[in-house]
């Protein structure tokens, strides 16, 4: 893989030592390790076993007398009480040739440099070129249910380390670490991992999500032989590379096979590596990417990493998604006021207006949006002073009196009268050189001293690490939220960070993200009902870090339904559908120029947080009626769509199926999308994953749909009427026959259980 905008995938070869095969053991132990072994490789004392269990998974760590805990097993739940015999009886007695006399485990929770094996180090730090190695010994292990904290220390390097692990009841293992500098002078930290995870040797390749503007979340598979895969991003956006990796055992598919996933909850630069250790297993290390000199700890100062999230599933890629979705719902998302309320159908003004805003026409559009069934009306870019294009105005967050002579309150109040919430687009972190703000404070933008500032989209980045800047932004946003009934902010970020130096000349990439998080937190504290959407030229800020503050993500600026099939599939690998913005836009499409039927556009948008982005005043009456019917269908199915379990099938002959099944198996809804012309004269039977074999279901085409095709059968016509009945076993395994679908069309199928037992 080559260099890409805003990110890089690199494959680095490293020399492997001889005698690898002789070193492999079931326990992952190295004879003659730091656990008191002799120089000739005789085994030392047996290590202590640290065990964490989730409902379906087990993590086994080996605590040796010296060094950090070794990862012995992360996989399916193991029987209780057998690990002691396993450890005692299955340790190898030999030692490979041409190795260090005192070997240490490769797969520890924090591989270091210099005294350790030759894997990629998870910790790289030094004091002016000294104390560049680290060898930690465990001082304490604290247990609390599914969580544990390992406290370790290196008195020579004058460092202490806390390793926080939690394997919750959602089978997602979270990991974060705390490093403390206990010496002088300052400790320069070049790298510290949030988490280290061990995958089986049978893993043959790694899947990553890469992309660009308007084409995010594209799955890419990279073979992993005797090499190291490294993925890095530096521009503080997740658009080019999502901060996650996927891996599966051979033969894994959407609904079967053991698969693994790791993601970093962070909106800044990240570094992910996957490499084979000497016994063939795969060590995955994830953490932030630090720029030169970005993190320097003074005496007594501590650095806490962001959280890494990892899971595995024996039920294929869909099972993995179900774990991550449950994890986000239970342990990451913070909904205003408590549990998630129904996600409002959102109307956004951008594609229907651009910068050509007129208050009277916006009120007419709001009335039309309400007739369609929209529940939230979002005023996008162009509302503030001096904003007639993307060349000016950013930073001047007051309504343009030429458009809104009385401010935003009249429009917001009218939207509320129509039964909708009012939302507003903002881009607080950015500033145009052509703005009153930057003319008044030319030193408030990030940049490198002595060099010309680097603009992108004719904008610079405000230095949020300066308290006076964040105070100004809070006051500006708080004032708008108080002057008009604004319930929602669409928070955008439309450029990469390049020359992100602060006033002291130090890089500020990491501190900028933390400052953005703090500003969001402060606004939500001041306005407890406020909801925030994360947008960054589309999917440039889509991660579990920002989802501790935002409750909606805009995955891509591309609203083309065909493109969205891939974008949304990649998104759903890691993040749940209720936070995935999915809009019905105009035809021809704003980005690609493709023409699609309203049914195709609406069916694809149905399976996320549904919205509309077009000029409703330009809709023909029949299309307005059809769109209103689709929105009504989404509302009817919304509890299932946003609270069910994700399932998907393989793509066959250009046809893709994805579905959501109720946790009790009593209801399901499926999207059946035909991407390309099928090669077979008659489509293969369509199987519907996730249904309960022992139940009888009625299958229908809900909403404004009809069976279309060259020669639909009577049974296929009944599908659009009273429905068809069949058992879950037959629908899941044998499938049903549908008429041939034309390319770039879709059907939505609804299954409802009519009995609890099959006849």
Query: What's the CA gap between 57 and 681, in Å, rounded?
Result: 45
Q: Please give, one letter per residue, the 3-state secondary structure of 528-544.
A: CCCEEEECECEECCCCC
Token duo for residue 38: 């002799």
Please pick, among 131, 557, 560, 566, the residue that the annotation labels catalytic. Answer: 557
Token duo for residue 405: 């002579």
Polymer length in residues for the chain: 759
- Is 89 annotated in the active site? no
Which of 582, 572, 583, 515 shows the shortest CA–CA distance to 549? 515
Q: Please check whether residue 167 is in contact with residue 248, taking contact to mean a CB–CB distance below 8 angstroms.
A: no
User: Angle formed by the axes of helices 509-526 and 467-483, to 10°?
Assistant: 30
> 501 to each of 227, 394, 444, 453, 520, how far by Cα in Å?
35, 20, 11, 10, 22
Token duo for residue 657: 């199926």
Which of 402, 405, 400, 416 shows the shortest CA–CA distance to 363? 416
Which of 627, 710, 700 shows the shortest CA–CA distance to 670? 700
Query: What's the CA gap between 501 and 474, in Å, rounded?
Result: 22
Q: Please give, one letter per residue, the 3-state secondary structure of 3-69.
A: EECCEEEEEEECCCCCCCHHHCCCCCCCCCCCCCCCCCCCCCCCCEEEEEECCCEEEEEEECCCCCC
Please pick, among 492, 543, 560, 566, the residue that the annotation labels catalytic. Answer: 492
Local structure of 234: helix, strand or coil = coil
Q: Which helix (H) or strand (E) holds 288?
A: strand 282-288
- Is 557 annotated in the active site? yes
β-bridge pairing 552-553 and 531-534? parallel
Query: What's the CA gap between 724 and 708, in Å, rounded?
Result: 17
Q: Please check whether residue 57 is in contact with residue 74, taking contact to mean a CB–CB distance below 8 angstroms.
A: yes
Query: What's the CA gap between 665 and 722, in Å, rounded?
Result: 21
Catalytic amino acids?
492, 557
């Amino acid at each position: 893989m080559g260099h890409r905008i805003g990110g890089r995938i690199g494959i680095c070869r490293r020399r492997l030592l001889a005698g690898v095969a002789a070193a492999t053991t079931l326990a992952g132990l190295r004879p003659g390790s730091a656990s008191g072994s002799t120089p000739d490789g005789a085994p030392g004392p047996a290590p202590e076993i640290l065990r964490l269990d989730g409902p379906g998974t087990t993590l086994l760590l080996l605590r040796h007398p010296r060094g950090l805990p070794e990862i012995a097993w992360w996989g399916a739940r193991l029987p209780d009480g057998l690990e002691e015999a396993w450890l005692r009886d299955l340790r190898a007695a030999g030692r490979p040739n041409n190795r260090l006399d005192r070997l240490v485990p490769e797969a520890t929770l924090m591989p270091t440099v210099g005294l350790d094996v030759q894997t990629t180090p998870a910790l790289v730090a030094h004091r002016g070129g000294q104390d560049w190695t680290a060898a930690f010994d465990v001082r304490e292990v604290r247990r609390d249910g599914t969580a544990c904290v390992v406290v370790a220390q290196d008195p020579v390097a004058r460092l202490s380390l806390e390793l926080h692990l939690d394997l919750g009841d959602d089978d997602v293992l979270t990991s974060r670490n705390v490093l403390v500098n206990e010496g002088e002078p300052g400790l320069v930290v070049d790298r510290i991992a949030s988490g280290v995870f061990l995958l089986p040797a049978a893993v043959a390749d790694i899947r990553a999500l890469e992309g660009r503007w308007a084409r995010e979340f594209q799955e890419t598979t990279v073979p992993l032989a005797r090499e190291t895969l490294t993925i890095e991003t530096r521009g503080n956006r997740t658009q080019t590379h999502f901060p996650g990796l996927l891996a599966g055992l051979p033969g894994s598919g959407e609904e079967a096979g053991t698969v693994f996933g790791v993601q970093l909850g962070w909106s800044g630069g990240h570094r992910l590596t996957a490499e084979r250790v000497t016994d063939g297993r795969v060590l995955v290390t994830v953490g932030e990417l630090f720029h030169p000199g970005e993190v320097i700890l003074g005496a007594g100062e501590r650095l806490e990493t962001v959280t890494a999230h990892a899971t595995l599933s024996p039920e294929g890629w869909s099972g993995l998604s179900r774990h991550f979705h449950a994890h986000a719902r239970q342990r990451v998302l913070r909904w205003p006021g408590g549990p998630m309320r129904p996600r409002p159908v959102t109307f956004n003004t951008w594609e229907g207006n651009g910068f050509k805003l007129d208050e009277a026409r916006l009120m007419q559009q709001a009335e039309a949006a309400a007739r369609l069934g929209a529940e939230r009306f979002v005023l996008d870019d162009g509302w503030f002073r001096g904003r007639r294009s993307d060349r000016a105005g950013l930073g001047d967050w007051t309504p343009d009196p030429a458009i809104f002579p009385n401010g935003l309150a009249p429009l917001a109040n009218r939207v509320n009268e129509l039964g909708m919430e009012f939302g507003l687009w903002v881009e607080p972190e950015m500033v145009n050189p052509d703005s009153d703000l930057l003319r008044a404070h030319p030193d408030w933008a990030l940049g490198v001293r002595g060099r010309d500032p680097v603009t992108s989209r004719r904008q610079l980045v405000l230095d949020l690490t300066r308290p006076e800047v964040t105070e100004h932004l809070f006051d500006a946003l708080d004032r708008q939220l108080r002057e008009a009934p604004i319930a929602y902010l669409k928070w955008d970020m439309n450029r990469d960070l390049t020359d992100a130096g602060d006033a002291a000349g130090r890089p500020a990439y990491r501190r900028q993200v933390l400052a953005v998080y703090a500003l969001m937190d402060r606004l939500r504290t001041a306005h407890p009902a406020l909801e925030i959407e994360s947008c960054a030229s589309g999917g440039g800020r889509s991660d579990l870090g920002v989802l501790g503050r935002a409750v909606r993500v805009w995955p891509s600026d591309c609203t083309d339904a065909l493109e969205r099939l891939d974008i949304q599939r990649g998104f759903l690998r890691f993040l749940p559908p209720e936070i995935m913005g999915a809009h019905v836009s105009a035809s021809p499409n704003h980005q690609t120029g493709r023409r699609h039927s309203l049914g195709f556009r609406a069916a694809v948008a149905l399976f996320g947080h549904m919205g509309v982005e077009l000029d409703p005043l330009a809709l023909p009456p029949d299309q307005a009626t059809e769109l209103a019917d689709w929105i009504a269908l989404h509302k009817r199915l919304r509890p299932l769509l946003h609270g069910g379990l994700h399932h998907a099938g393989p793509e066959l002959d250009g046809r893709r199926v994805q579905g959501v099944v109720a946790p009790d198996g009593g209801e399901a809804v499926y999207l059946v999308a035909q991407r390309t012309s099928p090669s077979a004269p008659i489509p293969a039977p369509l199987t519907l994953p996730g249904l309960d074999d022992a139940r009888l279901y009625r299958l229908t085409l809900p909403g404004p749909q009809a069976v279309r095709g060259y020669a639909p059968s009577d049974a296929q016509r009944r599908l659009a009427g009273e429905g068809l009945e069949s058992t879950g076993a037959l629908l899941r395994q044998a499938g049903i026959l549908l008429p041939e679908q034309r390319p770039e069309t879709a059907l939505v199928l609804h299954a409802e259980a009519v009995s609890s037992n099959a006849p």
